[in-house]
Structure 1
Amino acid sequence: MKKMKLSVLLAMFALVIGVLAACGGNAGGEETEGNTSGNSNSGGGEASETSIVVAGSSAMQPLVAAAAEQYKGDNADADIQVQAGGSGAGLSQVQEGSIAIGNSDVFAEEKEGIDAEALVDHKVAVVGMTAAINPNAGVDDLTKQQLIDIFTGKVTNWSEVGGNDQEITLVNRPDSSGTRATFVKYALDGETPAEGITEDSSNTVKQIVADTDGAIGYLALSYFDDDTVVKGKIDGVEATNETIGSGEFPIWAYQHSYTNGDPEGLAKEFLDYMMSDEVQTSIVPEQGYVPMTDMQVERDAEGNITEK
């Protein structure tokens, strides 16, 4: 009888030990699984990031929007919102972290209040810019000095530069605009434009120039997609991919996509896509920009040009 009781006690003791061991194993397993799940969610969170905002340069908007649409066609879960607002706004917003990518026509070093060292520059294309002229002005070719004289107010009638007897109306972009900064720096040699109409959007500039007799503004080449405005030559040179790539046509700038630190997740994937052959050899030229691979020269933030 004693032996039976002892056997029962031993069996119960073994059962308790087994249960405790199993519980301990499950506890440990749950902890391990929890850690693994946490790591997975952390990494998965970056990989599964499906929405970013890209904003800034309106000159870049057509290119980036076209690339985003094609990217989303192949990646149904991706939500890439492309907005304008000007290069200054794009740089400010990406610096403060409110957007993933800030587009700019100018180097971050050229904008006051921007900590360029904190931002990473991704040059995704080159944009050419030139004068946009109302067809009734009767002019399609200007010397660089004539262009400067027109925008600084020294020349006020098209007849003074070989055109029709028509008063000149200036259409500018605001100070925050990268398009304006590029045009002022490389077309006007740094001269400040005279007062005129000021518009936030390149689309609006084009519309006003088209609708206003004698108007002149400036646009990225991607906006010269119809005959509503004249694409002005400078010193007899037309703005084309070839003349820009060789450095013969002077008014051009990099299309910068800045990130606050190294890009991650969808921002990195989209920027990699922007530099892919699919975009550089197709979308970039189709949208009126110059692929990075076509550039035979390069330019630094001071405007110095050197051969590659």
Structure 2
Amino acid sequence: MKSKYKWIIGIIIVIIIALLLVIPGMNVQRMDIVGSTSVQPLAEELADAYDTNHSDIKISVQGGGSGMGIRSTHQGIADIGMSSKELDSSDKQNITEVELGKEGIVIGVNNGNNISDLSSSQIKGIFNGNITNWKEVGGPDQEIHVITREEGSGTRDAFTSLIMDKSDIMSSAIVQSSTESVKQAVSTDPGAIGYMSFAHMSNDVKSLSVDGVQPSEETISNGDYELQRPFLFLIKGKPTGEVNKFLEWVKSPEGTKIIEENKIIPVS
């Protein structure tokens, strides 16, 4: 009989230990952030920093583009959507926008290109196909290879709104699915030109001044560099619960420091 009781007690102890291991995990809440690939690296850093001090929540960040971020927010699939373009009136319905800051769109060329400045009209002419050789804008006698983003990209939408003036990007442009892939394509092609996120710029691509103004944190902040767009978090309805706590932390000095370190100009 004693051995029987020992066996039962052993089973009970195993069950109790299992429950103690499982129950804490059941209390962890998941938060999904989806959308713009330009905003994604910043969102990942914010999420990682927040998770470090909040063991009761796990934040997952996924890209897919601003269009997906907006749709996922409206459909309730994502707790927070990411967008790197201004929302139109239909997109704004029942959506709370939290602006993380302003970010520039950089016109980038290969480091071997001698061009350092282009006017807005020249950029438009290149991207709509009216200018096809670099010699037409003071560069080498070389065919221009236009690199663009996919439809639904917030960077593309912002670029077309700021530069193209209802003109279409040429249909033969090479399409890339992220700002990093645009940068990679430009860095390996002497004839290439593309537009990309200021926050993602590095020395392997040459950034051009536009209408005589070089993109920088200062020129983006004061508005002198006009190719800029917002970085947005989107919430369906009003933020509540853990989402609201996270957003309040994002606006705290700790969150603002991370935003600034990512070359995003924070808003007050």
Give the TM-score of the pair, scaled to structure 1.
0.74
How far apart in 2 are the matches of 1:87 and 1:185? 15
In structure 2, what is the equivalent of residue 30 of structure 1? none
Matching of residues 154-303 of structure 1 within 5 Å = 154-195=130-171, 196-224=173-201, 226-280=202-256, 282-293=257-268
User: Which of 94, 98, 101 is residue 118 of structure 1 equivalent to?
Assistant: 94
1:76 is aligned to 2:47? no
Percent of residue pairs identical: 32
Give the Å deviation of 1:160: 1.4
Q: Is the 8 A contact 2:70 2:91 kept in 1?
A: no
Q: Is the 8 A contact 1:101 1:257 kept in 2?
A: yes
Structure 2: runs of 5 or more not aligned: 1-26
Q: Deviations over 1:185-242 (max 9, x none)?
A: 1133342211211112111111111112211111110110x21111111011111222
How far apart in 2 are the matches of 1:76 and 1:272? 17
How far apart in 2 are the matches of 1:107 and 1:162? 34
In structure 2, what is the equivalent of residue 57 of structure 1? 36
Q: Deviations over 1:111-138 (max 9, x none)?
A: xxx5421111111111111212112222
Q: Is the 8 A contact 1:187 1:250 kept in 2?
A: no
Deviating 4+ runs (over 3 angstroms) = none
1:101 is aligned to 2:77? no
Structure 1: runs of 5 or more not aligned: 1-47, 294-308
Q: Is the 8 A contact 2:28 2:55 kept in 1?
A: no
Q: Is the 8 A contact 2:86 2:229 kept in 1?
A: no
1:128 is aligned to 2:104? yes
How far apart in 2 are the matches of 1:181 and 1:93? 18
Distance 1:203 1:161, change over 3 A: same
Give the TM-score of the pair, scaled to structure 2.
0.85
SS of residue matched to 1:208: helix
Q: Deviations over 1:236-271 (max 9, x none)?
A: 111122212221111111111111111222221221
Give the Å deviation of 1:155: 1.0
What is the one-letter code of the residue matched to 2:248? D
Give the Å deviation of 1:59: 1.1
Give 1 or 2 for the bigger CA radius of gyration: 1
Distance 1:154 1:119, change over 3 A: same
What is the one-letter code of the residue matched to 2:169? P
In structure 2, what is the equivalent of residue 32 of structure 1? none
SS of residue matched to 2:112: helix
Give the Å deviation of 1:49: 6.0
Matching of residues 127-146 of structure 1 within 5 Å = 127-146=103-122
How far apart in 1 are the matches of 2:237 and 2:86? 16
How far apart in 2 are the matches of 1:259 and 1:124? 13
Point out the structure with the larger helix share: 1
How far apart in 2 are the matches of 1:190 and 1:84? 27
Give the Å deviation of 1:90: 0.5
Distance 1:140 1:264, change over 3 A: same
Q: Which of the pair has the greater relative contact order for Cα pairs under 8 Å at 6+ separation?
A: 2
